[in-house]
Each structure stands twice: as structure tokens, then as C-alpha cells.
Amino acid sequence: MQSQRLSLASILSYRPVVPRKKSKQTPHHQAEAELTEFGLTLPETEVGPGWPPTRCLKVRGKMFYVFGDRKEPEGALTLIMKLPISAEMVQDLYYVRETKGWFRQHNWVIAHFSEEDDILAEMETLKAWLIQSYCAMAPKKLAKLVRGEAV
């Protein structure tokens, strides 16, 4: 079986077709659906439950992108991901919460979008972070495939 190489540009330009439901989706629901579909295009990725009540994307059973939070208010969305390259650089963004303890030590970042925040304006950034988190948690061979490096 020939392995398929994905370029970063093709991954970032992916625009999934999200079927419209009868009830109106909030921008936060729309963002979660788009990020989930985008994440599922990466090799060996699956959707699964995180810790209650979160949802997550996993690669070979390892969580790399978590949606939701225990105390998340209605209409908000919290995203948790591992950013070994840019964890320190993103701390000044208005939607990034300060992390402590284990999360900070292991370069996990928490992005929180309240109901008033325009999460859809940040989709390109969130997709790039999803790829970075995937590459941090995936086996080296899969990470190289996504980054377009020789395997």
C-alpha cells in the first residue's frame, strides 16, 4: 500500500462540507464540527470521549485535541491541545488561559472562547494548532507523513 503524503497547505486549505441541520448551529458548534472533520483527515485519527464531559480527537488511542471543559458555560467552547513549539508564544492571546502544573510543564495550552468571541475568525490558527498537537502525540512516522518529511 502506498503511503499518501499530505502537504501542510492542503491540510490547512481543507474546507469540510458540514450538512445543515434544522436547528441553527452556534459558531462554536460549527467550529467544533469543522475542527473534528479536519482532524479526522489526519492518519489514524478517531473521535472519542475525553474525561467527562469532554470530547476529543485521538491518534492511536492518545488524546491530542480536547473539546469542552467541566465548568464550561452554555455557548462557550474550550479547546485543549499540546503545542511544544508555540506554547510560550501563544500565552498573550486573549483566548488562551494560563496553564499551571502538569499542563504547563508538558506544553498543553487551553484556549477558551466565550459566547461573544468570534471563534470562526481563528479557524486557520486552530487548525495549525491541531496539526502541531497531532504531530506531538502521533508516532514519529505518522508525524513525518503529515509534515511532508521523508518517511
> Tell me: the pLDDT tens digits for 37-87?
999 999 999 999 988 899 999 999 999 999 999 888 888 999 999 999 999
pTM of structure: 0.81
19 has a pLDDT exceeding 90:
no
The model's confidence at residue 8, banded by pLDDT at 50, 70 and 90, is low
What CATH number does domain 8-147 carry, 3.40.50.2000, 3.90.1150.30, 3.40.50.1860, 3.30.465.10? 3.90.1150.30
> Over the chain, what is the mean pLDDT?
87
Return the pLDDT at 130. Answer: 98
What phi, psi does 10 have (nearest 5°)? -70, -35
Q: What percent of the chain has pLDDT over 90?
A: 68
